[in-house]
């Protein structure tokens, strides 16, 4: 079992990446300093080629005919994602976004009035809104586990709430959108397995950045996008559905002719695999691009990515910590490659625009993305910088210098 609170585990060997070669294969690296991988990673050339190739094929031979011609490659989406997260292809459903995967998963749970959803104060904004919507429609109760003093959820307190409330669903986000926190999802999962509770994990920011093992996490359902640290195309994501959930007969509320067979005028039967959570229509170029991006990430090596990517962020955080007027906001025993900070004397949009003007891609987070976390930190907004393995130490230092320069202007 890997140590969830350690960035590098115990005695893990240092893995090297050929960063120059990886950058040469990433056209965006020649144009921008891309520190918005938590928004969307830069596509690698082989991924782009696969997608453009498929669009050309569709144009030449017809969309249905092109997907039939590429059926074997389409299947690779499932084998690649399964290999990435230690699952089997039948447990994987393609989704157009992580949010769509998450909503579909939630829709499969037959919530009743007073059922409890147990979650954390760091669960992703759209998940929290979905819970509130379920509360409005079905009268479910939402319970938030408290945080530990060092940041992130207090797992033992969460486990105590599991025993008291016997929640219908336990939900946690591995890495939130608004800070570098890494939640101990496998420790939470051990309690869920012990108590036989349904467990849904949002791994949107961690897939492609960390080794993800659904067996180790002990989740029943896991959602992610392919466009962030996995460097896949926009409009792609997936849902992992465990055998336990499939066998128990969970199915999305609006199951279609791909997820089910209309076996008689008055009845249908869901298919046996996670395809139950998909729809008939697929953006095939995107599916193929996602398969190619996953293959690419696995070839680069997820363990090597897991070492380099948060280490670049840590270097940036260390630099920013020393800049007058900058307040680094990330808290928790282990941090991911999302660096968040506030800057004295600046409003959010002008600050981001000033970074844009220097050719540095970044993102803003606001209080309404993180009602609990930003209230605790007493901030209304932050800038988020999220490097990836193809960024360089020189870029990190350049970005830190740019922030320092702008922060100096804010203090004048």
Ligand X SMILES: Cc1ncc(COP(=O)(O)O)c(C=O)c1O
Binders of ligand X among 227-286, rule CB under 6 A?
237
**Dist CA 169 CA 142 (whole Å):** 10
Least CB distance from residue 237 to ligand X, whole Å? 5
State the minimum distance, in angstroms, from the CB of residue 204 to ligand X. 3
Q: Out of 26, 108, 119, 173, name the contact with ligand X by CB under 6 A.
A: 173
For ligand X, give the closer residue by CB, 66 or 365. Answer: 365
Cβ at position 94, least distance to ligand X in Å? 13
Cβ closest to ligand X, residue 66 vs residue 219: 219
Among 202, 220, 251, 330, binds ligand X (CB under 6 A): 202
CB of 20 to ligand X, least distance (A): 30
Report the residue from 7, 109, 117, 204 that binds ligand X according to the rule CB under 6 A: 204
Phi-psi region of 45 (alpha: psi -120 to 50; beta: other; left: phi over 0): alpha
Phi, psi of 188 (to 5 degrees): -65, -40
Tell me how far, at minimum, the Cβ of 142 lies from ligand X, in Å.
17
Site string for ligand X, 34-73 (x = CB under 6 A): ----------------------------------------
**Of the two residues 232 and 342, which places its CB atom closer to ligand X in the complex?**
232
> Residue 225 CB, nearest distance to ligand X (Å)?
4
3 state SS of 123: coil
Please answer whether residues 153 and 174 qualify as being in contact, where contact means their C-beta atoms are separated by less than 8 angstroms. no
23: which residues sit within 8 A by CB, 6+ positions away? 29, 390, 392
The β-bridge relationship of strands 360-361 and 33-34 is parallel
Q: DSSP string spanning 344-404?
A: TT--HHHHHHHHHHTTEE-EEEEGGG-HHHHHHHT-SEEEEEB--TTS-HHHHHHHHHHHH
**Smaller CB distance to ligand X: residue 178 or 346?**
178
Are the C-beta atoms of 261 and 269 separated by less than 8 Å?
Answer: yes
Q: How many residues bind ligand X (CB under 6 A)?
A: 13
Binding to ligand X (CB under 6 A) within 110-139 occurs at 124, 126
> For residues 168 and 221, what is the distance between their CA atoms, to the nearest angstrom?
13
**What stretch of H or E contains 102?**
helix 98-107
Residue 49: other Cβ atoms inside 10 A: 13
**Can you name the residues that pair with 172 across neighbouring β-strands?**
201
Identify which of 2, 38, 11 has the alpha carbon closest to the alpha carbon of residue 312: 38
Q: Site for ligand X (CB under 6 A): which residue of 44, 74, 98, 312?
A: 98
The answer to whether 179 contacts ligand X (rule: CB under 6 A) is: no
Q: Is residue 205 a contact point for ligand X (CB under 6 A)?
A: yes
Binding part of the chain for ligand X, among 171-179, 210-218, 322-330, 397-405 by CB under 6 A, reads 171-179
Please identify which residue in 225, 242, 361, 362 interacts with ligand X, judged by CB under 6 A: 225
Provide the binding-site residues for ligand X, judged by CB under 6 A: 97-99, 124, 126, 173, 176-177, 202, 204-205, 225, 237
């Amino acid at each position: 079992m890997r140590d969830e609170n350690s960035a590098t585990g115990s005695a893990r060997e240092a893995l090297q990446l050929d960063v120059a070669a990886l950058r040469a294969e990433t056209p965006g690296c020649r144009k921008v300093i891309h520190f918005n991988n938590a928004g969307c990673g830069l596509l690698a050339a082989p991924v782009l080629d696969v997608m453009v190739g498929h669009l050309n094929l569709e144009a030449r031979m017809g969309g249905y005919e092109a997907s039939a011609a590429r059926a074997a490659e389409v299947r690779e989406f499932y084998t690649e994602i399964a290999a990435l997260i230690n699952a089997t292809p039948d447990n994987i459903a393609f989704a157009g976004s992580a949010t769509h995967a998450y909503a579909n998963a939630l829709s499969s749970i037959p919530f009743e009035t007073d059922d409890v959803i147990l979650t954390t104060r760091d669960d992703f904004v759209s998940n929290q809104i979905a819970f509130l919507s379920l509360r409005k429609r079905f009268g479910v109760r939402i319970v938030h586990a408290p945080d530990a003093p060092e940041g992130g959820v207090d797992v033992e307190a969460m486990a105590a709430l599991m025993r008291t409330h016997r929640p219908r669903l336990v939900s946690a986000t591995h890495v939130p959108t608004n800070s570098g926190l890494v939640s101990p999802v496998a420790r939470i999962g051990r309690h869920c397995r012990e108590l036989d509770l349904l467990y849904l994990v949002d791994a949107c920011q961690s897939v492609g950045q960390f080794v993800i093992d659904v067996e180790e996490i002990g989740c029943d359902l896991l959602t992610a996008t392919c466009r962030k640290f996995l460097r896949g195309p926009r409009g792609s994501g997936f849902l992992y559905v465990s055998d336990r959930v499939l066998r128990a007969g969970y199915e999305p509320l609006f199951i279609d002719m791909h997820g089910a067979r209309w076996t008689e005028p008055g009845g249908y039967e869901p298919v046996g695999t996670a395809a139950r959570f998909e729809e008939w229509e697929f953006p095939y170029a995107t599916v193929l691009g996602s398969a190619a991006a996953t293959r690419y990430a696995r070839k680069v090596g997820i363990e090597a990515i897991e070492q380099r990517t948060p280490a670049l962020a840590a270097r940036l955080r260390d630099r920013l910590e020393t800049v007058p007027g900058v307040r680094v906001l990330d808290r928790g025993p282990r941090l991911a490659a999302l660096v968040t900070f506030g800057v004295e004397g600046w409003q959010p949009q002008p600050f981001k625009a000033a970074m844009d003007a220097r050719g540095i891609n970044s993102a803003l987070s606001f209080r309404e993305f993180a009602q609990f976390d930003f209230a605790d930190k007493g901030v209304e907004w932050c800038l988020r910088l999220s490097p990836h393995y193809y960024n360089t130490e020189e870029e990190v230092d350049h970005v830190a210098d740019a922030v320092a320069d702008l922060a100096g202007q804010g203090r004048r």
